[in-house]
Structure 1
Amino acid sequence: MASATSSESVDSELRCSICLETFVCPSTLSCGHSFCLRCLEAAWVTASSFSCPQCRATFPVRPQLRRNVALANLAEQLRVGDGMATAVVCDICGDGQTPAVKTCLRCEMSYCFSHFRPHLENPRLKDHAVVDPTASLDERRCRNHKRELEFYCTVDRSLVCSSCTIAGEHTGHKVLTLKDEHEKRKTRVGEETRAVEEKRKKAEESVKRMEAARKEAQESVAGIRGRITGKFARLRDALNEDEREALRRVAVKERELLSRIEEDIARHKREIGELQAAAARLRALQHERDSLAFLQVGSASVETPLGCPREQSGQWQRGSWCKERDPKEICTPTFHFTGRHHDPLP
C-alpha cells in the first residue's frame, strides 16, 4: 500500500500542471516549478507579464527556458515503466511528436532536422559534440565532474572527461580521444570478425560433410534393411511351403495308419466272437457224462486246437492266429520327410 502511494506521488511530481501529462522536455523556473517547455511558451504568448502558472511568481524579463535534463530523464523512465516510451523527440518543437535526428551533448537537447540546422551552419555551434538521438544524457557525462566524456584512459581502461585528465585521478595518464580509441578497437573488432567468419565457414563445411555422411549412412542402412526384409520374406515363404507339404504327407500317413488300425480292430472283434463260441462248446463238453458222446464230440475238438478261431476260408491258421502285433507298431507311425530348411521329421 505504501509502495503504491509512493509511486503515485512520484507520478504526480513528474506531471505538468498545465497539460496534466507526463513532462515532455521539462523546463524549471527560478521559483522551482517545472512545466513542459511548449506549455510555458503557449501560456506566455498572449500574457502581458511573465509569471509562474502555478505560484504566480512574476519575472521582470522573460526567463531563458532550458531543458531540465534530470527531470527529463525521470519522466522518460516513468514512461518506460508505464509502457509509454517513444522515440526521442525534438525538444524545440515541444509537441512531443516530432522525432529528433541528433542530440547535442553541449546543449543537452535533441533537435529535429530543421532545428538542428544551426549546428551545421553557425560556426560557434559546429564544435559541439552531437550524437544520434538519445534520451539518457547522464550516461555520457562524467560522474565526478558532470562533463562530457571525451577521452579514454589507457592506464585505467575507463572513459574520462577533460577535467579528469587535468586535475583528476587520471592526471598524467596516457589518454586517447574517443574517436582514436574507437578506430583502434574497430580495427581489432574487424580482425576478430574475420577470424570468427573463418571459423564459421569451417564449421559450416564440417556440418555439410557430416550431413552428407548422415545421408549416406541412412541410405546404406535402408538398403541393408531392404535386403534383410526380402531374404526373410523368401525364407518365410519357403518355410510355409515346407509346412504345407509336411502336413499333407502327415495326413496321408494318418489315413493309411487309421485304415490298418480299423482293419485290425475288426479282425480282433471277429476272433473274439469265434473264441466266445468255442468256449461255450467246450464248457458244454466238460459237463457231458456220456463217455461215448463225450469222445465223439471231443475227438473233433482235440484235432482242432482249442480256442483257435477259424478264418473265413474255413482253414485254421496254426500258430499265426494268436500272434498279436506290438501296440507301438500299430499306433506309432513313422514318417521320413525332409523339408528344405528342416531336419527329418521324427
Structure 2
Amino acid sequence: MASLEEGLTCSVCRDVFSQALPLPCGHSFCPVCLRDAWGHGETEVRGCYTCVQCREEHGVVLCDCCPPVDAGGQTGTSTAVKTCLRCEVSLCAEHLQPHLDRPAFRTHLLVEPLGDLSHQRCPAHEEMFRYYCADERVYVC
C-alpha cells in the first residue's frame, strides 16, 4: 500500500494527488508545483520544460481553457493534446471534444500542441501562417 500512495504523491510538495499532470518521462506532479516551477523564466520563452524530478526536457503545453482554480477550489490546468490554429488555443482532451463533435468546428485545423503561437503568426499581416514553402523553407500566411 505504501508504494501505491508513493506513486500518487507529488514529489515536490509530498501531497497526495487530487489531479496529476503526467510528463512524457513518466513522472507526475500536482498542477500547483508545475506552475510554480515553470511559471517564470526562459522555459516559457523556449516552449521547453524540465521535469522537476529527473531534469529531462519536455515540450509540455498546458490547456488554455482549463481554469486556474475549478469550482471545488482545486488548482489545476491539464496538459494540452492539440492546438486549434483557427481558435488559437491549446486544448486538453476534455476541451478538445467540442472540436471533434460539433460540425461548426470541422474546418478548424488541429495540430500537435504549440506553446507560443506568436511564432506562428505573420508579423506583417497578424494572421496565422497557413502554408509552408518547401523551396524557401519558410511559413507564409
More helix by share: 1
Relative CO higher for 1 or 2, CA cutoff 8 Å, sep ≥ 6?
2
Structure showing greater Rg: 1
Q: TM-score, normalised by structure 1?
A: 0.22
Q: TM-score, normalised by structure 2?
A: 0.49
More strand by share: 2
